[in-house]
Amino acid sequence: MKTGEGLLRRRRFASENDGCEVAAPTILRRINEGPIVTNEIPDWLNATLAADATGGRHVVLPGILRPLRRDWRVIGPAFTVQASTDDNLAVNRAVKAPPPAGSVLVIGGHLGSRTATVGDLMAHEFRNLGVVAIVTDGLVRDAQELRALGLPTWCRGATPIASAKHDPGRVGSGTVIGGVPVHDGDLVIADDDGAVIWPAAELDVLLRAAIAKHEADDARMARLLAAAPRQGSRQ
């Protein structure tokens, strides 16, 4: 590990000061067969750097969608569901699609819903299919069970109310969350700062921008640490 990379890792994910145990991120490997030589997503990539790389574009409601557990972090390709307000039949249909293993289930259409997008039983089904996380603009129920299950979930909050099951919606053909379009295969980067969408067609450009920002942040942190007063020194 480079020194700078270690500095950034500690700055982004250190838990000593907040008492939070930070889980190891789920990392998607070989996401793109484009000109990036390694075709790998680095393990230092987080929502902050991902958002910086886009210049603030493609950020999915970072102030509204929150992880049920603050230590959750995930990177993976989107598999999309477009549901209808207070109706999650489309989410049930997604179980039968099914989503590719390793994907992040992105469910839109529930920004105005007062009923649950997913609950404990459905989350178990998606986990068994290999889904690595859920991102929705809706609510969930069985929140305590979802936290214990360990399937990282980003949502608006919790409710005990079940959804109706009438509108089939759309599965695997794109969705919109907070005005941000999400398509199957787009890269989702999500943590306690929010969720960011990298369009599949821009992965190479955005990854290069994130690397440049990461290196600049590392260099700045190195300068700050070098200039910090030594312990026990007088000012």
Residue, of 11 and 229, whose pLDDT is higher: 229
Domains of the chain in sequence order: 3-221 (3.50.30.40)
What is the model's pTM? 0.81
Say how many C-beta atoms besides its own lie within 10 A of residue 33's C-beta.
7
How high does pLDDT run on average in the chain?
Answer: 84
Cα dist. 219→6, 11, 95 in Å? 11, 13, 46
- The percentage of residues in the chain with a pLDDT greater than 70, rounded to a whole number, is 81
pLDDT at 41: 82
Q: Are 62 and 189 in contact (CB under 8 A)?
A: no
Residue, of 178 and 148, whose pLDDT is higher: 148
pLDDT at 232: 63
Mean pLDDT of 24-32: 40
Checking if the pLDDT of 168 tops 70, the result is: yes
pLDDT at 181: 94
pLDDT at 230: 82
Query: Residue 204: which of 44, 25, 39, 27 has the closest Cα?
Result: 39
Q: Are 125 and 107 in contact (CB under 8 A)?
A: no
